[in-house]
Amino acid sequence: MDIRSSMLLTDLYQLTMLQGYMEQGMEDIAVFEFFIRKMPPQRGFFLAAGLEQLLEFLEQAHFTAWELEWIAKSGRFSRSFVDYLERWRFTGDVHAMPEGTVCFANEPLVRVIAPLPQAQLVETRLINLMQYQTLVASKAARSVLMAAGKPVIDFGLRRAHGAEAGLLAARASYLAGFAGSATVLASPLFGVPVFGTMAHSFVQAHSDEIEAFEHFALAQPGNVILLIDTYDTEAGARKVVELAPRLSQQGITIKGVRIDSGNLIDHAFKVRRILDEGGLTHVLITASGNLDEYAIAEIVSSEAPIDYLAVGTKLTVSSDVPYLDCAYKLQEYARRPCRKKSEGKATWPGRKQVFRYYDQHGRIAHDVLTLIDDPQEGQPLLQPVMESGKRHVALPSLAATRDYVSQQLRQLPDSLRRLQEGATVDVKIAPALERLARIVDAPR
C-alpha cells in the first residue's frame, strides 16, 4: 500500500466537515492559500518546494474501495456521504510560485480554487507536502551559499523522519543546489545523482585497515573513496599513500578519502599534506559528520582543503528550524472574502498576488502583497499550474529548477547571502489589501 496517496492520510475533521458541507449543499467555490506566517530568526528567506508532489497528489486523489469500506464501517458517517466520497475528485485550479522561488512570510506559495469540499479535503496532505520540502530546500540553500562553489551532498536518509522525508530531502536539497544524495531511490524516482563512499563497518569487518581499503578498491575500481577515520585519521591517510602504488599497478586510481569525525578542518590540513607528500595530489577530500551551513561557513573561511561536503541529519530534520509556522487558510468562499481573526493568527483575506521589485543590481529590493485585481508594476510570482484538476503545463524538470534556483540565489540581497540572524526582505501590504481586511472585519 502506498501511504503517500491514501485519502485516509488526513485529519478526521476533514471528513466530518465534508459531511457537513455535503448535507448543507455548500459546494460553492472556495479559495485557500498556503503561506508561512512568520520568518524564524534563523531564516532570511525560503525556497518554495514540493509543488510537483502536490500536483501529482491532486491529480490522482480518489478514495479506493477499502478506504470507502473503512469509512462506512467506522459508523461515523452516512451512507450517502460514502457514496459522495466515491465520486469525489479534485477538479479545481491551482496557482503557485514555481518551485525554487525565493519567498517570505505572509506570501501565498500555493492558491487552490475549487468547490469547498475539494479545496478543504486536500488541506492536510497539502501542508504536509509543501512544508517539508520548503523547509529542507530553504536550509539546503544556506549550505549551498556558504559552500561557495564546493559541491555539497545529502547524506541524511537514516536520520530523516521516516521513508518519505528521507526521499524528499534528497529531492529538495538537489533542487536547492546540492550536487546529489546518497539515497539510491532518489535516482530512479527523481533523477538525483547518487554518491557513496564506504562505512566504518567495512573497515572494522577486516582485521586490517589497509586490506579493507584494498578490497573496497577492487570492488569499486571506478569510485575509490576511502573512509580513513575509523581508528586514526592521519594513520589512515598514510595507509592510503602506502596502498596507492599497489592499486595503480592494477590500473586503479584512488579518487578520494573521507573524514567523518574529530576536528574536520585540522584533519583536512594534515591529511592533505600526507597525501600531497605521498604524491596523491589528485586525491580529493570529503568531509562529513555533523555538518550544516554554520560548520560549512567555518570550513570555507578556514580555507581547509576539503573538496566535497556531505550534510546529513541537520539538513534532513532542519535541526535549527524543524518546522515552519505555516497554514492553508480559507480566504474567500462563494465570492465573499473572509479571514480568520484568531489572536496572533489573523490572515490576509482574498485572492492575493505577490509582486517582486529589484534594485539596480538586480537584487530583490522588496515584495508587495496585494489582491490579484490590484495589479502592480513588480514581477508577479504566482502562476497558474493546474486547471480543472489537470496540470496546466508540464512543470520544469528538476535540472531546470536547479538553474532557476541558482539565478534566484544570485538575486538575494547581500544580507541574505550571509548567515545573519533576523535579516529578511520587506513584504509591503498594499492599501487595497489593508482596505479589504477592514471591510471583512466590519461587524456583520
Residues 56-75 that bind a copy of itself (CB under 8 A): 66, 70, 74
Residue with cell 462506512: 72
Q: Indicate which single residue of 304, 309, 324, 425 sits in contact with a copy of itself (rule: CB under 8 A).
A: 324
What does the block give as the cell for 224?
A: 575509490
Q: At closest approach, how far in Å is the CB of 422 from a copy of itself?
A: 20
Tell the residue number behind the cell numbers 500555493, with chain if given.
Answer: 110
Instruction: Please provide the distance, in angstroms rounded to a whole number, between the alpha carbons at the two ends of the chain.
Output: 48
24 scored as a contact of a copy of itself (CB under 8 A) = yes
Q: Which of 43, 174, 62 is nearest to 105 (CA)?
A: 43
CB of 263 to a copy of itself, least distance (A): 8
Residue 226 dihedral angles phi and psi, to the nearest 5°: -105, 135
The stretch near a copy of itself (CB under 8 A) out of 268-276, 331-339, 357-365, 369-377 is 331-339
Residues near 336 by beta carbon (within 8 Å), at least 6 away in sequence: none
- Only one of the segments 97-105, 222-230, 246-254, 301-309 lies at the binding site for a copy of itself (rule: CB under 8 A); that segment is 222-230
Question: Which of 83, 89, 191, 218 contacts a copy of itself by CB under 8 A?
Answer: 218
Report how far residue 204's alpha carbon sits from residue 225's, in angstroms, rounded to the nearest whole number: 16
Give the integer Cα–Cα distance in Å for 122 and 62: 11
Nearer to a copy of itself, 349 or 413 (CB): 349
- Whose CA is closest to 130, among 324, 317, 318? 324
As a whole number of angstroms, the distance between CA 300 and CA 137 comes to 21
Binders of a copy of itself: how many residues, by CB under 8 A? 108
Is 127 one of the binding residues for a copy of itself (CB under 8 A)? yes
Residues 228-257 close enough to bind a copy of itself by CB under 8 A: 229-233
Which lies closer to a copy of itself via its Cβ, residue 266 or residue 434?
A: 266
Residue 34 sits in the site that holds a copy of itself (CB under 8 A): no
Binding to a copy of itself, residues 402-441 (CB under 8 A) = none
User: From the list 279, 322, 362, 384, which residue makes contact with a copy of itself (rule: CB under 8 A)?
Assistant: 322
| Residue selected from 35, 84, 174, 195 as contacting a copy of itself according to rule CB under 8 A | 195
Q: Please identify which residue in 38, 76, 282, 435 interacts with a copy of itself, judged by CB under 8 A.
A: 76
Write out 342-374 in H/E/C secondary structure.
Answer: CCCCCCCCCCEEEEEEECCCCCEEEEEEEECCC
Least gap, CB of 208 to a copy of itself (angstroms):
8
* Residues from 275 through 314 that contact a copy of itself (CB under 8 A): 313-314
- Told to check if 85 binds a copy of itself by CB under 8 A, we report no
DSSP state of 361: T
* Other beta carbons less than 10 A from residue 67's beta carbon: 17
Q: Considering only residues 95, 171, 329, 352, which one is a binding residue for a copy of itself as defined by CB under 8 A?
A: 329
Please check whether residue 387 is in contact with residue 441, taking contact to mean a CB–CB distance below 8 angstroms: no
